[in-house]
């Protein structure tokens, strides 16, 4: 059982699925219509950006996409986390604008000023794209310079997104605000990579420059967990 008191709320999720996930995660189910208590998590099936933003602004400690693999594990992790977390299936992360969603929520909770949003959103967009394409879908950085090679790249993305072995992997975004600093941690379930090899290739590559874009937008960038986690830090 979880050592932290928390309940699971369902948003567009069948009651049986909600109850089974809560039981597997070792937490209770919130009464219908109840607001979030500290550490409460929302299990959702909707991909409505405004609706998901509202859940974060309302104070849910975590949001977990029911369509991703092992949602009960993601729920346990969200309850135990010290930060607000958003756990999405890869296919969901690809279908919605995660960076805009998170920035909408940050502005709604007055965690960033409007003038800082552009830098945060661009850096986060690159981090999520990196986690989706190169992390969970395990597709390389370069897709060539011809229309044919780009079409082949897009076809591979579509194919892997439809494969549950890849599309159901999770992307997790953790939001930490301490004083004048904001940290956004983006974690994937890929095999990881050595960031030094990407830096060495960046001079000649036509693609794979996302790390340099993120470094330019954020005050600091750290690569952790063997390349599976990117930490974007902003001085606000």
Under 8 Å between Cβ of 109 and 56: yes
For the chain, give the mean pLDDT: 90
- The pTM for the full model equals 0.91
Helices (H) and strands (E) in the chain — how many of each?
10, 9
215-220 CB contacts, 8 Å cutoff, 24+ apart:
217/119, 217/120, 217/122, 217/123, 217/126, 218/119, 218/120, 218/123
Nearest 5°: the CA angle 94, 98, 102 is: 170
User: What is the arithmetic mean of pLDDT over 25-34?
Assistant: 94
For the chain, the structural domain boundaries read 1-81, 90-236
User: What is the arithmetic mean of pLDDT over 99-122?
Assistant: 95
- What is the band of 203 on the pLDDT scale with cuts at 50, 70, 90? very low
CB atoms within 10 A of CB 159: 12
Amino acid 194: pLDDT: 77
CB atoms within 10 A of CB 150: 12
Residues 6+ apart with CB under 8 A from 226: 192, 193
- What is the band of 200 on the pLDDT scale with cuts at 50, 70, 90? very low
- What is the band of 1 on the pLDDT scale with cuts at 50, 70, 90? very low
pLDDT digits (tens, 9 = 90+) for 114-150: 999 999 999 999 999 999 999 999 998 666 678 898 8
User: What is the arithmetic mean of pLDDT over 38-61?
Assistant: 95
- What is the band of 171 on the pLDDT scale with cuts at 50, 70, 90? very high
User: What is the arithmetic mean of pLDDT over 90-114?
Assistant: 95
**Region 90-236: CATH code:** 3.30.565.10
Phi/psi of residue 174, nearest 5 degrees: -110, 135
- The span from the CA of 116 to the CA of 185, in Å, is 18
Amino acid 210: pLDDT: 79
**Region 1-81: CATH code:** 3.40.50
Residue 118 exposure: Cα atoms within 13 Å on the Cβ side: 2
């Amino acid at each position: 059982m979880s050592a932290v008191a928390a309940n699971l709320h369902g948003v567009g999720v069948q009651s049986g699925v909600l109850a089974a996930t809560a039981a597997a995660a070792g937490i209770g189910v919130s009464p219908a219509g109840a607001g979030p208590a500290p550490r409460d998590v929302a299990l959702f099936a909707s991909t409505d950006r405004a609706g998901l933003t509202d859940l974060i602004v309302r104070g849910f400690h975590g949001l977990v996409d029911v369509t991703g693999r092992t949602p009960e594990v993601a729920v346990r992790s969200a309850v135990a986390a010290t930060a607000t977390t958003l756990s999405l299936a890869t296919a969901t992360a690809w279908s919605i604008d995660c960076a805009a969603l998170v920035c909408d929520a940050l502005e709604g909770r007055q965690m960033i000023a409007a003038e800082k949003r552009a830098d945060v959103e661009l850096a986060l967009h690159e981090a999520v794209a990196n986690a989706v394409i190169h992390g969970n879908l395990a597709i390389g950085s370069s897709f060539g310079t011809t229309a044919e090679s780009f079409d082949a790249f897009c076809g591979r993305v579509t194919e892997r997104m439809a494969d549950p072995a890849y599309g159901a992997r999770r992307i997790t975004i953790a939001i930490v605000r301490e004083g004048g600093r904001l940290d956004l941690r983006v974690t994937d379930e890929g095999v990881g990579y050595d960031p030094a090899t990407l830096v060495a290739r960046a001079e000649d590559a036509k693609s794979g420059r996302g790390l340099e874009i993120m470094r330019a937008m954020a005050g600091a960038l750290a690569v952790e967990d063997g390349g599976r986690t990117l930490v974007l830090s902003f001085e606000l």
